[in-house]
Every structure is written in C-alpha cells, then in structure tokens.
Amino acid sequence: MENPSEAHTQSPYALAEPNPLDAAAKAFFGVPYLFPYQRLVVSNILEAAEARGIPIHWPGTGPVYAPARDTPKSPGSPEGAETLDRADRESRGRQIVVLPTGAGKSLCFQLPAMLFAGPTLVIYPILSLMADQERRLRERGLVPVILRGGQSSEERRALWKRLQSGHSRFIIANPEVLLTASVLGTLKELGIVHVVIDEAHCISTWGEQFRPCYREIARILNAAKGSLVPLVTAFTATASASVLENIEQALFGNLGAHRIIGNPDRSNIRYTAQGCILRDMAVRDLLIKHPKPALVFCASRLGTQQLARYLRNEWEEQGVAAQDIRFYHAGLSREEKNIGEAWFLTHPQGILIATCAYGMGVDKGDIRTVIHRDCPPSVEAYLQESGRAGRDGEPSQAILLWGPGDEGALKRAPSEASRSRLVPLLSYARNTNVCRRKVLLQLLNYEGAKESLGSDCCDVCAGRALNTLREEASLIGFFKNHRRRYTLTEAAQVLSQAAPHRWSPEEAKQGVMQLITQHTLRQIKHPLWKNKIDF
C-alpha cells in the first residue's frame, strides 16, 4: 500500500512548470513574463506556424511545439473536426492586433522571430521607425538587415547572404523599397516566415492619399510566398471598425483575419481641449505651464519651423534656452532626423515641434505633454499621436487645440471619407458635457471604460472645460470698457502693451478680426465713430 503522505505530496494547486513563452522571453530578452495580450498574440503566431508545418525552436531544444489543446482526433470525433481545428489555428496566422501605445507590441513579433529558423520581415511606414527598431535590436545584440533605397547591387547581395546564412533574423524595410523589382523578385527566395506590418492604420489613411504603395502591400505578401505561406500580423495602436475593415480587405481580401483588440484606454493620460484664435501663443502658454519633455504636433512642415522659431524668439526673452526647442518633419535629411531623434530621446526638458512623421512607435517613454496645435485627420490619428505621452505609465497630458482654422481643414479634406473621419474629432474638442476619455473610446467602438477617473481624467471631469475661445473673454472685456474708442489698429497697439498676454500688435489684430468675423464685435460705419470697434 502506498504511503499516504507520499500520495498527497503533489497538491492539485501546485504551480505548474514555467510557461515556455515566459521562459523564452526571459532567455532571449530578459523579460520575466508576457502580459496577457502579448501572450495571446504570440500564441496565435506560434499555433499558426505549427499548423503550417513551420519548425519552432525553443531555447535549448530542437524544433518542438505542440499546443496543449491541439489533441489528436479521438475515434468518436465528428469527421472533419481535426481539419476544422487545424484550419482555425492556421487562420490565426492572419491577424490584426490593436494594442495601445506602450503595450509591448515589438515583443509580440520579436519573440516569435527568435523561435523561427527563417527571417521575419517588418514593414514600417517611415524611416525613423526603422531606425528606432534597428537601435533596439542592436541593443539586444541582434543585427537586422535594413533595406533602404539607393543601396547598390553589391550591398544587397551581402544582405541576402547574411539572411541565407542565418546571421540575421530580421528584415526591416518600408513598402516603397520592397515594391522595387529587384527586391520583389528576391523575397520568395529568402524563406520569410513572418511578415509584420507596423502602424497598419496607414494602409487606410496614407494609402488613400499620399502613400499609394500602402494599398499594394498584398503584392509584397504574395511575393514573399515560398515553399510555405508566411504568417502575417498587422499592428496598430488605434483603429475604428471602418479602418479595421480597410486593413483586412487590403491585406487579406476575402480570406479574413483574426482580430485581437486590446484596451486603447490610457488611464495615465489626462485629456484636454482648448479653443483659441492664436494657436502659436496658446502653445507657448501651455508649454510654460505643463511639464516636459513635450511634443507638439503641427499639420505642415512649414508650420513646425514657424512655431519653433516663434517659441525661440518668445522664450529667449524669458530666459529659456533656444536649444531646448527643435523641429522635425519628413523634409529633413536622414542625418538631420537622426540628430533630432537622438537629441529628443535624451533631453529631459526638450520640446520637439513635429509633423506626424515623428512619433509612431518611437520609444521615448517620458514624454509628459503632447499638444496638437492643429487637429489631426481622425480619432485614430489623435489617439496614436497623443499616445506618445506617458509611455512609462506616469501621469501625462494630451491637449488638443481647436478654433477657426478647423473650418479650413474641413474644406481641404480630400474626400467625403476624410471629412467624415475629421468631423467627430472636431465635435469631441468642442463638447464640454461628456468625459473626453469616454468620447474617444466610444468613437473607437470600445466599451471598456464605463466610469470616469475623476478630476485627473480630463478637463470636463475636472469642471474646467470651456466651449469658448481663450482670447474671447479678455477681448470682449476690453471693448466693453472702451466702446467706440479704438479702431482696429489702435486697439491692437494698446492690447499689445497689456498684461498678461504679451500679444504682438499683429496677434492682437488677428484676435480682434476673428471676433469681428464671427460677429461678436463690430466695426461702426456711422461717421461719428467711423471704423471704431464696439461690442
């Protein structure tokens, strides 16, 4: 008879062996465990690989991978059940993953890449993202292959040799270089196991407008098919239902894709919207008030340069160093971009004025304030860019400016679809009755956030949201006290000398003209007070 003490030594609640995914993450990257969504994404990739016959090499073992629930068909199983199970697992090799900024998306494809014998192709929309991923991989002792325009045939042959020898596990490229004839014809020979499309919302947004190559990524996927069909994972931080449909159709056609949608709610970010006439001045005042490092998004390249110049001129008078302010846009040379990125990455008080060319996935965790001088084109874009704040989980600010210039943005929208994406965000900015966080999440059809986080949630919950332009009250008050006394030029001169705004005469004139345009103020036509301004 067995010893009772021995029979009950193993408790049913005893800890199981360490999860192999956690063990692999620790072995390759020093990460002690995976977050739930990371585990789900990686498991899908590996299960799909097993279903397609792609070998998986765990640390210290040969090619071994058998999912716990992938059991052989029992004699009583319905005919075809095993085939359906296999097809379901294989379909997970086509997935779209929506995870918030800072959720560890890179590890979701870096970890599987370390378990596959063949390379992983990672497609990025912009060079700064390629450079950022290369930097992070090199810090981990991994040397990726970088495909860029302008590389010679000798350089390319050396890169292909590195891949075929197994010395590189990652290929990093943008769609344009992959669609060149020389690269497209080589892809199927490289044995690519996994294709990753980062910032996949660009397929829907950029692909419709100024990056048509994004609508041709399916050609790249087809060209990469060798003896095995590569797995495909598309990542983005934010996407509405319509954008997800666009991504799925562009990449997979009628095959469909498995979707994993994480929580886009960034509870450590406090959302604010502020109406203003003089946006540069509003940015200046917000940057004085809010913590740094700070990132300010502008709609145009010229706008970044003008705002940076304005802030330098304004702040030099206040003792702020001009070298604390730089601009960044797609028109800069690669060297200029590298210098700007390196500077901002390490500057504790840096202020970067940028277009959307900066920021998608760039790993700077301590940005405390993100300001949108101009309204971005969609809710997805706003959450993507405002999500650059607080990636370290610490309290941060996201501030959206709105005002008269938004009407021009609506008129410039290239299509009705573009207009329909912009309108909800403009409405969000002006809505002072509903928690901003809730509105943003509802616009993404995400129902996870039911309750406000209190006064730290947004300016609405704090009771400080205003649906008026920030200059309006002081300008109206000025003309209430000086009715029919000043012409536009005279008023601008007086206002420029009044505290606390520090307006220039031109800025004061612009503010007054806006209130005249919206009929809050008026210029008198009566001869006795010709051109004088009245309330």
Task: Give pLDDT, residue 363.
Answer: 67
> Does the structure show a pLDDT above 50 at 79?
no
Least confident of 39-43, 46-50, 206-210, 530-534: 206-210
Considering only CA atoms, which of 173, 195, 196, 184 is closest in space to residue 127?
173
Which amino acid, 103?
A
Would the pLDDT of 474 be above 60?
yes
Where, residue-wise, is CATH 3.40.50.300 in the chain? 20-66+83-261, 269-456
User: Is the pLDDT score of 370 beyond 60?
Assistant: yes
- Segment among 5-9, 237-241, 264-268, 523-527 with least mean pLDDT: 5-9
More confident site: 454 or 172: 172
Strands (E), 341-447: 351-354, 369-372, 396-402
| Kind plus residue range of the DSSP H or E element containing 26 | helix 20-29
Per-residue pLDDT at 78: 42
- The pLDDT of 228-239, averaged and rounded, is 88
CATH of domain 269-456: 3.40.50.300
Q: Which amino acid is at 460?
A: V
Retrieve residue 377's tokens.
């084109």
Identify each DSSP E strand in 291-421 by its residue range: 294-297, 325-328, 351-354, 369-372, 396-402
Q: What residues contact residue 503 under an 8 Å CB cut-off, 6+ apart?
A: 278, 281, 495, 496, 511
Q: Where is average pLDDT lowest: 32-41, 149-158, 356-365?
A: 356-365
Q: Which residues pair with 396 in a beta bridge?
A: 269
Indicate if the pLDDT at residue 41 is higher than 60. yes
pLDDT value, residue 433: 93
Nearest to residue 303, comparing CAs of 275, 336, 276, 279? 279
400: closest CA among 307, 323, 299, 474?
299
Q: What local confidence, expressed as pLDDT, does residue 83 receive?
A: 42
Reply yes or no on whether the pLDDT at 461 is more than 90: yes
Mean pLDDT throughout 37-66?
75
d(CA 367, CA 394): 9
pTM of this prediction?
0.68
Residue 322: phi, psi to the nearest 5?
A: -65, -30
- Selection from 127, 73, 124, 144 nearest residue 334 by Cα: 127
Q: What percent of the chain has pLDDT over 90?
A: 31
pLDDT in the model for residue 447: 65
Please give the order of strands across the beta sheet that includes 269-275: 269-275, 396-402, 369-372, 294-297, 351-354, 325-328
**Looking at per-residue confidence, does 512 or 42 come out higher?**
42
Number of Cβ within a 10 Å radius of residue 394: 13
Looking at the predicted structure, is the pLDDT value of residue 230 above 50? yes
Give residue 312's Cα distance to chain centre.
28
Please tell me which residue, 335 or 416, carries the higher pLDDT value: 335
Question: Using CB atoms within 10 A of its CB, is residue 290 exposed (0-12), middle (13-18) or buried (19+)?
Answer: middle
Residue 186 has pLDDT above 80, yes or no: yes
Region 179-199 average pLDDT: 92
pLDDT tier at 18, thresholds 50, 70, 90: low
Mean of the pLDDT values across residues 194-200?
92
Higher pLDDT residue, 476 or 146? Answer: 146
DSSP string, 442-463: HHTT-----S--GGGTBTTTTT
pLDDT tens, 290-334? 999 999 999 888 999 999 999 998 876 665 566 789 999 878 887
Angle at which helix 436-443 crosses helix 416-430, to 10 degrees, equals 160
Exposed / middle / buried, residue 319 (Cβ in 10 Å: 0-12, 13-18, 19+): exposed
Percent share of the chain, pLDDT over 70: 80
Q: Is the distance from CB of 204 to CB of 247 less than 8 angstroms? A: yes
Greatest mean pLDDT among 187-191, 361-365, 453-457, 517-521: 187-191
Round to whole Å and give the CA distance between 234 and 196: 6
**pLDDT (0 to 100) of residue 166:** 83
In the predicted structure, residue 105 carries a pLDDT above the cut 90:
no
Indicate whether 440 pLDDT > 80: yes
In the predicted structure, residue 360 carries a pLDDT above the cut 60: no
Angle between helices 379-386 and 416-430 (to 10 degrees): 60
Summarize the confidence of residues 69-80 as an average pLDDT: 38
Average the pLDDT over 446-462 and give the result.
Answer: 76
pLDDT value, residue 407: 84
- Over residues 202-213, mean pLDDT: 68
pLDDT tens string 53-74 = 888 888 865 443 333 333 333 3
Tell me which H or E stretch contains 261: strand 258-261
- Tell whether the model's pLDDT for residue 408 goes beyond 70: yes
Q: Which helix (H) or strand (E) holds 346?
A: helix 334-346
**pLDDT number for residue 87:** 58
Q: Which CATH entry fits the domain spanning 20-66+83-261: 3.10.450.30, 3.40.50.12280, 3.40.50.300, 3.40.50.1820? A: 3.40.50.300
pLDDT at 4 exceeding the cut of 70: no
Q: How far apart are CA 331 and CA 355, in angstroms?
A: 10
> Roughly what angle, to the nearest 10 degrees, separates helices 416-430 and 405-412?
160
Work out the pLDDT band at 214, boundaries 50, 70, 90.
confident
